[in-house]
Structures are given as C-alpha cells and as structure tokens.
Structure 1
Amino acid sequence: MNAGHPIPGPASVLAGARVMPVLTIPSATMAAPLAEALVAGGARCAEVTFRTPDAEQALEAMAAHGGLTVGAGTVLTPGQVERAVAAGARFVVSPGFDEQVVSRCAELGIPVIPGVATATELMRALRAGLDTVKLFPAEPLGGLSTLRALAAPFPGTRFIPTGGIRAAHLAAYLADPSVLAVGGTWLATPAHLERGDYEEIRRLTAEAVARSTS
C-alpha cells in the first residue's frame, strides 16, 4: 500500500517515553502553561487532539515550547494530517484505521498510530507496513485482557492503549511487553484547564511518570 514510502515508527519520536498525555485544549491561551506543567512533571511527549477550534494553534504553541515532542490526535483526514504537520506535529494519531490518513503520513515521512479495536483492523494496519497501533477505546473494549488477546497472534506488534485508562491501571499496562506507551486523558482534562489547575496537572504527570519508570 505504501510502496516507496516507508513509515517511520513512533518509537523514534517517543524516545522512550512511556506515558503520553492526551489533551483536549479548549483555548490556545492554555497551551503554554500546560506545556510548562507537563514538562515540570517529567512528560516528554503529548498528543493534542483535533477536537476543539483552537487545536492547531494550541499544538503549534506547545510544539514551540521545545520541551515536548508533540503529536496530533483525532486526525481523521489527509487534510488534517497536512495541517497538523504544518503546525509542528511530530506524529499523528487516529481513533481508527484509515488508509488515506496512513498513506499521507507515509508520504510526509511522519509516524502514524492508528486506532484498532479488532484483529481485522490490526491486520490491515500491519499490511500497511505499521508495527505500532493504538488500542482504542482500551478500557471499554476489555482493557488488558483484550490487549493480550489481540497481541498473541501478532508477535512484534506494539500497542499504545488509550481510552478510559486511569492512574490505577498504568502499572499493569506498562508491565505487558507488547505495550510501548500508555495514552491518558486523566493527566490534564478540560476541567483542569478550565480551572487553571496546572499544579494538579504537574502532580498527576509526575505521579504517572514515576510509575512508568519504577
């Protein structure tokens, strides 16, 4: 499918980070203090979802901070891939597997992490040349037991489970050898941002990073 356009793996940009804050940012004015809080908590990467009108501006501001590897999430179309990369995204995340999104990422040489929920979707992703996928929504799908069931027939595949995961689940997911990293929305929710509670974001991030390295 992507002959001539090898797809770089996300491990090359995540650089060992095992916790990925997944961010829905209501206003671009929140991006700079949010980046500061995440970096202060030890985060090295973050996913900014394309779910708000200010998503591109927020991604650009966070990418300009310099302390984080920032990617774009909830990317649904090739056009959004182009806008995300123009804003400074170093990787792209989708809720599902879309061939056109994957192809455009391959053409641009940017890592892409599509979401999968079934073995059929995982097989399509592997056929497209990918070796890392997002299990989404992880907890509603059955959590770690579902992840292990999917991983068993596909040795070498790496997963970034995301969706419904909380701090209490983190250690168990990260202990599984097929898990590259865990995506979490609990680290910095829109409610945290609306309250301006950046100290709580820093605390939750530091706690998660500590759990990921213990």
Structure 2
Amino acid sequence: MPIKKRSAETREICARAPIIPVLVVHDVAHARPLAEALIKGGLPVLEVTLRTPAALEAIAEMAQVEGGIVGAGTLITPQDVSRAMAAGARFGVSPGSTDALLDAAEAAGLPMLPGAATATEAMRLLARGYDMLKFFPAEASGGAPALKSLAAPLPQIRFCPTGGVNPDNAGSYLSLPNVACAGGSWVAPDDLVKTGDWDRITALARAASVLPRAA
C-alpha cells in the first residue's frame, strides 16, 4: 500500500478523539480495566509505550477491548515494529524517524505516526509520503507557537503534539489548524492506575474527550 494511503489511515485514527492517552503500563493486570475506563470516557485511541517489560502483554490485552484502537509507542527499531504488530498494535508511534524504522513499518503495513521536531525533519517525512506527524518533544521544541509557525510553510502536514502537553496547555495546541489531536498522559496518572480508580480515570478521559479542536 502506498505510504500516503497509510498516512491517511493514521490521520483517520488521530481524528477519533482530541487526546490520545500516552500510557506507561507496569502491571499487565491493569491493562484491560485501564483501556475500558479510557474508552468509556470517550478516548478510544490508546498509545502504549514500549518502556516497560509489561508493554507488549498490555497491548495484547488492550487490543481485545471492544471499541478501542491500540497502538505502540516509542518504536525505535525494526524489531520493535515486529513485536508490536505481533502483540496486536494497529498503529505505531516513534519519537523520531530513521530509514530502518520506516522501512520496517512500511514493509509490515503498520500505519505510523513518526516524530519530527523541526521543519527539516517534517519536510523529509513529507517527501517520503507522511503528512500526519508527531511533534515531539512538543513543549521543549517551542510548544504551540512553534507548531503555529509551521502551519503556513507546511500546510499539508497535520501534527499530534506530545511531550509536556497537559490540561492547562492542551487547548492552545488543539486550537491550531495543523493539529489533529494531542498526546497526553494526564488522563491516566500512575497513582490512579495503581489504586484501580477506574471511575476517576473515566472522568478525566471524558473531560479530555470534549476539548474543542480547530475546524
């Protein structure tokens, strides 16, 4: 499948909700109820980062929850792509991009949200066929003003800013015409996950799910 068509699939995934929860799962037992709580709250697209030994099993558990679209984050190597897909990931997210990583994702047919922090990185990905990108690390890279400055010269590209996005600044990102959604971890804080306070997580998700986006 052409890369542009895969990138269009990623755009469709990002259009599902204004916020994609960025999840670091330490205990597989939390995976299913966490996914259920977030989906119930209106956030169906979930990114499980490959930062813990439990991540792949968590993806496998979450992939079975009805109504959800589970992806794998922090993809770095071609091996990460194959392991994530074997676990049931339906899309991949990377902090940056290398030819080896993108080659592997393209060969496997995995829709990707590749990371870019500069105009040059974004242009290189656009030339390859990617027009839905992750802007990372968002706050450290200039935040909403930096993304706003990219809109005029690169109107073809939509972004999902991640990294330092929180309830206080999410609105400034989502108001930009080149932002499709944003990634954030605040909807599933570690303390609530550890105590199994799924109702509170659902409430946080519900609040995030109605954040307004640019038309």
Greater shift, 150-159 or 191-200, is seen at 191-200
- The answer on whether the counterparts of 1:18 and 1:181 sit within 8 Å (CA) in structure 2 is yes
Superposed displacement of residue 168, structure 1: 2.0
What's the counterpart of residue 6 of structure 1? 3
* 2: CA distance, partners of 1:49 / 1:34: 14
Q: Distance in 2 between matches of 1:52 and 1:183?
A: 19
Letter in 1 for 2:3: P
> What residue in structure 2 maps to residue 71 of structure 1?
71
Q: Residue 159 of structure 1: SS of its match in structure 2? A: strand
Deviations 1:77-126 (A, max 9, x none): 01110111111111100011121111111112221111111122112211
Contact in 1 for aligned 2:175/2:212 (Cα 8 Å): no
* Structure 2: gaps of 5 or more residues: none
TM-score by length of 2: 0.92
Tell me the residue number matched to 2:54. 54
Point out 4+ residue stretches in structure 1 off by more than 2 angstroms.
4-7, 12-18, 189-192
Where do residues 40-189 of structure 1 align in structure 2 (5 Å cutoff)? 40-189=40-189
User: Do the aligned partners of 2:19 and 2:181 also contact (CA within 8 Å) in 1?
Assistant: yes
- Relative to structure 2, which stretch is displaced further, 176-185 or 104-113? 104-113
- Check the 8 A contact 2:3/2:128 in 1, yes or no: no
Residues 56 and 84, structure 2, Cα contact 8 Å, conserved in 1: yes
Partner of 1:195: 195
CA offset at residue 213 of structure 1? 6.7
Residues 113-169 of structure 1 deviation map (CA, whole Å, 9 limit, x = unaligned): 111111221122112210011111111222100111223221110000011111122
Give how far 1:5 is off. Answer: 4.6
Tell me the secondary structure at the aligned position of residue 47 of structure 2.
Answer: strand
The amino acid that maps onto 2:190 is P
Q: Do 2:14 and 2:180's aligned partners in 1 also have CA atoms closer than 8 Å?
A: no
Query: Does the 8 Å CA contact 1:14/1:69 hold for their aligned counterparts?
Result: no
The answer on whether the counterparts of 2:15 and 2:180 sit within 8 Å (CA) in structure 1 is no
* CA spacing shift, 1:24–1:75, aligned 2, 3 Å: same
Percent same amino acid among aligned pairs? 43
1:206 lines up with 2:195 in the alignment: no
Contact 2:161 2:183 (C-alpha < 8 Å) held by counterparts: yes
Q: Which runs of 5+ in 1 are unaligned?
A: none
Deviation at 1:209, TM superposition (A): 0.5
**Does the CA-based 8 Å contact 2:17-2:42 persist in structure 1?**
no
TM-score (norm 1): 0.92
Contact 1:24 1:189 in 2 (8 A): no
- Give 1:156's aligned amino acid: Q
Q: How many residues align?
A: 211
User: Which SS does the other structure have where 2:133 is aligned?
Assistant: strand
